[in-house]
Chain A
Amino acid sequence: MKESNERSGLGFTIFVHVVLIFLAFLCLFFFYILLINSTRNHAMIQKGFSFIPGKSFMINLKNVLADANIPVVSGIKNSLIVSGCSAALATYFSAMTAYGIYAYDFKMKKPAFIFIMLILSMPTQVSALGFVQLVTKMNMINTLWPLFLPSIAAPAVFYFMYSYMQSSLPLELVEAARMDGCGEFRTFNRIVLPIMKPAMAVQAIFSFVTSWNTYFIPALVISQNKKKTLPILIASLRSADFLKFDMGKVYMLITIAIVPIIIVYLILSRYIVDGVTLGGVKE
């Protein structure tokens, strides 16, 4: 019995690997051509695609770094600040909100939940311009605050945290903590959050990446060069005049912009990849 299981397993295992290798190839392929394009000259890129690297890597890099109107270093810093704060605020406060609704019984519990689900359904395209007017009135234009403070209210992250608690957070644990005399915030920070670690890591990555790549709202809020985030700088290169328009530079900056986010991703992904199991749930 066991024998046959193993044998059918071999063909199956090969199949699994073939599928995985194919998907991994698709995923990495785009990084490869991105990298290739950053080594190519503008005219070459414009003429189409190549699998072979060009010779302009250093030239493109120099051109990007030498452009005083494209402050790459402060761009990376601003993007790190905005994305880091967004991720931290979104995950922490969403977990907190989800816990509030999951763990406590109170009158407004259900209305609050439904309300958040309604916010989740609201298209935000139109209110973006209203948001910018509001930010102007609050005197926060050209600051980074309005780019991450709203993350405190992230309905999608909340909903994920809530679903995760439903499947992975037994309330017995909370009650046990209470009996040990733990305060409510302490219970949340010391007992609930560690259990939520995989969920937090997942949502931290997603929030970070989303925020890292957002252009529309930041571009409306920020005009000062020193406050610009990377997507705005990339867009700036793309609106260059015809004489200076240089796709080599654009691809180089895109490549530069991708390095920090890959690092952050690799760091955070360990929480998912290493298979963090839940010490607390053993019954």
Chain B
Amino acid sequence: MEGTGKKNNVSYARWGYIFIFPFFAAFLIFQLIPLVSTIYYSFFEYYRSGLKVIGPNPVGLANYKAIFESDFLKYMGNTIILWLLGFVPQIFFSLLLAAWFTDLRLRIHGKQFFKVVIYMPNLIMASAFAMLFFALFSDNGPVNSFLISAGILDHPFRFLSTVWGARGLVALMNFLMWFGNTTILLMAAVMGINPALFEAAELDGCSHLQIFFKITLPMIRPILIYVLITSMLGGLQMFDVPQILTNGKGSPDRTVTTIIMYLNNHLYSKNYGMAGAVSVVLFIICAVLCIGVYFSMNGDDSLVRSRRKKRGGA
């Protein structure tokens, strides 16, 4: 509210609306109607039996009741485990690499090359990537023959037939596909930091670690929170990697079935009622976490300009 004294600020408000208009227009046109109908039909019995459309018959909260009577919590647990398994190494390596790449004192040979290469797995289509994973980790694939010839195993480890083998592969594939992405985001953030800050710190004789924790981390905080939130949402809505890697089975024993895979099972019969209800439940969980994490980490005043001003003036 500061600065209302300047009279031209009042007229600038109009520009705020103008700048955000295209986004909201596109959202209203392309996404709102499907989203609203998703929520609406979650209160109906509405699916197809073969080609016959059953419903929509209003059923109140029956779909929601059915969700909590199902193994929803198990799938929720699977999803969180799969996400953490991939996310923890991902954020660790990404921070490490981003720090290394942007550390001017660290002389890395072929730095450009490494920077370019780490993102490349993301260029491969997930389905193609999964095909390669199958070949690599199959019972008589190269990974198993390596482990056997190295004397680590005496018979093939059947990766996709064991709970932690399958979960591990999903996490590994997610890690490989996304760590470069995260590193790039963090690097872009670090490069946005005023180089004068690093120069000053170096002149003061700060170590790598000190610079990293005292300057880099606090300065890239908004992007770090961004990475955390988008990765969390991406993790909770994880679908394609476990879906493809387990041939849509979520096996063994449904321990690799994520929430969206569960939702997808309902779409086989175009069960908009159940699928809608799963979406709404997942949406509420995601929204609470997303908004909660955002405001708890940024403080409630993050949208107010005064803080920026202070920093800029310092």
The chain A residues found within 8 Å of chain B, CB to CB, are 9, 12-13, 16-17, 19-20, 23-24, 26-28, 30-31, 33-34, 37, 48-49, 51, 93-94, 96-97, 99-101, 103-110, 112-114, 116-123, 125-131, 133-134, 146, 149-153, 156, 158-160, 163-164, 166-168, 170-172, 184, 188, 198-199, 201-202, 205-206, 209, 213, 215, 231, 234, 254, 257-258, 261-262, 265-266, 269, 272-278, 281-283
Give Cα A261–Cα B278 distance, bound, in whole angstroms: 35
Give Cα A163–Cα B27 distance, bound, in whole angstroms: 21
Dominant SS at the A interface?
helix
Chain B positions 18-34 with a Cβ under 8 Å from a chain A Cβ: 18-20, 22-27, 30-31, 33-34
Cβ-defined contact, A254 with B260, below 8 A: no
The total of interchain contacts (Cβ-Cβ below 8 angstroms) comes to 304
Chain B residues positioned under 8 Å from A281 (CB to CB): 194
Cβ-defined contact, A123 with B279, below 8 A: yes
Give Cα A121–Cα B225 distance, bound, in whole angstroms: 15
Cβ-defined contact, B30 with A34, below 8 A: no
Q: What are 12 A-B pairs with beta-carbon distances under 8 A?
A: A20-B108, A24-B113, A108-B17, A122-B35, A122-B286, A125-B267, A126-B275, A131-B34, A152-B26, A160-B226, A272-B184, A281-B194
Chain B positions 215-273 with a Cβ under 8 Å from a chain A Cβ: 219-223, 225-226, 229-230, 233, 237, 239, 260, 263-264, 267, 270, 272
Chain B, Cβ-Cβ closest to A195: B192
Chain B, Cβ-Cβ closest to A31: B120
Cβ-defined contact, A254 with B26, below 8 A: no
Chain B residues positioned under 8 Å from A131 (CB to CB): 30-31, 34
Cβ-defined contact, A13 with B107, below 8 A: yes
Give Cα A146–Cα B120 distance, bound, in whole angstroms: 28
The count of residues in chain B whose C-beta lies closer than 8 Å to any C-beta of chain A is: 110
Give Cα A101–Cα B219 distance, bound, in whole angstroms: 21
The answer, among B97, B289, B309, for a CB contact under 8 Å with A171, is: B309
Chain A residues positioned under 8 Å from B185 (CB to CB): 160, 202
> By CB atoms of chain A within 10 A, which of B109, B179, B185, B193 has the most?
B185
Give Cα A102–Cα B3 distance, bound, in whole angstroms: 15
CB distance from A132 to the nearest CB of B (A): 9
Produce 1/0 per residue, B133-148, CB < 8 A to A. Answer: 0011010111000000
The chain B residues found within 8 Å of chain A, CB to CB, are 1, 3, 9, 12-20, 22-27, 30-31, 33-35, 37-38, 93, 96-97, 100, 105-109, 112-129, 132, 135-136, 138, 140-142, 176, 179-181, 184-185, 187-189, 191-196, 219-223, 225-226, 229-230, 233, 237, 239, 260, 263-264, 267, 270, 272, 275-276, 278-279, 282-283, 286-287, 289-291, 294, 302-303, 305, 308-309, 312
4 interchain residue pairs of minimum CB distance:
A100-B19, A130-B34, A104-B16, A168-B192
Chain B residues positioned under 8 Å from A168 (CB to CB): 189, 192-193
CB distance from B44 to the nearest CB of A (A): 13
